[in-house]
Structure 1
């Protein structure tokens, strides 16, 4: 199996644990908790900032000792927009499941910004349509660069079955602003129905990295560099949650030159 693909564990509790150290990079961390009603996930942010994303289910949340109430409403990541919570560095958080709960914990270095805890409600989020034809997908920006954070960029994408996404292929692996920014990235994938599969390729221009992976429900793909397009198979919609971070909090990408014509087709 590719070293870029991380399988989620079985059962309850923390089923995925990606850190800069075990990923072999510098910025992005990603944990996934699957909790039964009454179970609790909690953590201290330390020198990192955190974005909690309620992928599915409801939970009673606190952050920095403040009760945030019961958050979450959708029972499927394909059904509406998420609830999320931003927690700055040197903070703490806790979520106790009210229903079955899938909680994503997205982390990146804090920069001492002194930002407050904030709840990000579905009503606060816009959804945009990108692409045309079989390249159409639906994007929900949870923590875009237009909203305050130190390092994190967090976004959800739903790609209908038979469509491509993160396509035409693009990359963001050079600290070369304003043309391109360096951003590490994780993709947390879900399929509907869950027995389906999709594909993701991660590759560089010189093909020193060139991996194509069959993606199943619950897989996480690491994108340390290179282009990273996805394809959803007929009959199976693809959801993914992206976490990005790098030395500068901006998303400036470079399209693969040989596929640039698709932007005008």
Structure 2
């Protein structure tokens, strides 16, 4: 199995690169571009759909025949909600940085759903609070299953320092609807302040997979299967951008039975 922890490269350019081939799976792809003002990134989606997330900074975006102009406003992923662009399969897209820009390119198979490219603005995004006490975290749904897409599910989460997240441990690695859906997943992590670290464990019931990783600012964690809780250390808030996709576009998870009592505590 490929390494689950993908370290970010230094400097600018494409600093993170995950493909189905490199991850050893079928659906999810993830790239992170760190760009200077005036730099541009472009690509063709081919047989995949894409969600472009402006994690930080401002840029001018085009997709297909649409020129969406200048997008973006936040300069930190810990401030406000993101601007994003959905791009269907069979399209070209480009983003030119107006300021320093961190651009996430989330991808999954397209299904020829006849969808159009569109901007996903911050005022369209729902934000919810999950958990309580030291398990409280703040969730922004960028591309949830009730919004049009073929395969992609995209969400970002902020976990305050000293809190846990994706917890109690849950998994979604069986195509067993309506009880559980099969979804591959990536976590793109950021820390505030950036010199901090957090922890993420990925494990299965039989422990044939059981890895605990110290994640630093810019790291990506692959979740091919199993439970995948996170813990943010005291003094350092944790942000992560999740990309999920599988054979059916629905998020139905299964809680680890031995920890489910926490939901009633």
> How much does 1:12 deviate?
1.1
Q: Tell me which residue corresponds to 1:84.
A: 84
Q: Distance in 1 between matches of 2:74 and 2:102?
A: 11
Task: Report what 2:195 is aligned to.
Answer: 195
Q: State the Cα distance separating 1:6 from its structure 2 match.
A: 0.3
Shift of 1:126: 1.1
**d(CA) in 2 for partners of 1:232 and 1:14?**
26
Alpha-carbon separation, structure 2, partners of 1:5 and 1:256: 23
The equivalent of 1:204 in structure 2 is 204
SS in 2 for 1:243: strand
Q: Could you tell me which residue of structure 2 aligns to residue 222 of structure 1? A: 222
Instruction: Work out whether 1:237 is the aligned partner of 2:237.
Output: yes
Matches within 5 A, 1:1-265: 3-265=3-265
- Matched position secondary structure for 1:258: helix
CA deviations 1:51-94 (Å, max 9, x no partner) are 00000000011000321000000000000000000000000100
* CA RMSD, 1 decimal: 0.6
TM-score, scaled relative to structure 2: 0.99
> Secondary structure, in 3 states, of the residue corresponding to 1:73?
coil
1:168-224 CA deviation, whole Å, 9 max, x = no partner? 000000000000000000000000000000000000000000000001000000000
Distance 2:214 2:23 in 1: 20
For residue 145 of structure 1, report the CA deviation from its aligned partner. 0.2
Q: Calculate the TM-score normalised by the size of structure 1.
A: 0.99
Q: In 2, distance between residues paired with 1:79 and 1:134? A: 21
> In 1, distance between residues paired with 2:30 and 2:214?
20
Structure 1 gaps of 5+ residues are none
**The residue matched to 1:186 in structure 2 has which SS?**
strand
The structure 1 segments of at least 4 consecutive aligned residues displaced by more than 2 Å after TM superposition are: none
SS at match of 2:261: helix
- Aligned-pair CA distance for 1:233: 0.2
Q: Could you tell me how far apart the structure 2 residues matched to 1:241 and 1:92 are?
A: 23
The alpha-carbon deviation at position 123 of structure 1 amounts to 0.3
Name the CA distance, whole Å, in 2 between partners of 1:248 and 1:66. Answer: 29
Cα distance in 1 for partners of 2:16, 2:76 equals 19
Cα distance in 2 for partners of 1:94, 1:66 equals: 11
1:153 Cα deviation from its structure 2 partner: 0.1
For residues 92 and 130 of structure 1, the distance between their equivalents in structure 2, rounded to whole angstroms, comes to 37
**Counterpart-to-counterpart distance in 2, 1:172 and 1:92:** 32
Q: Distance in 2 between matches of 1:80 and 1:249?
A: 27
Alignment deviations for residues 72-121 of structure 1 (CA, whole Å, 9 cap, x no partner)? 00000000000000000000100000000000000000001010011000
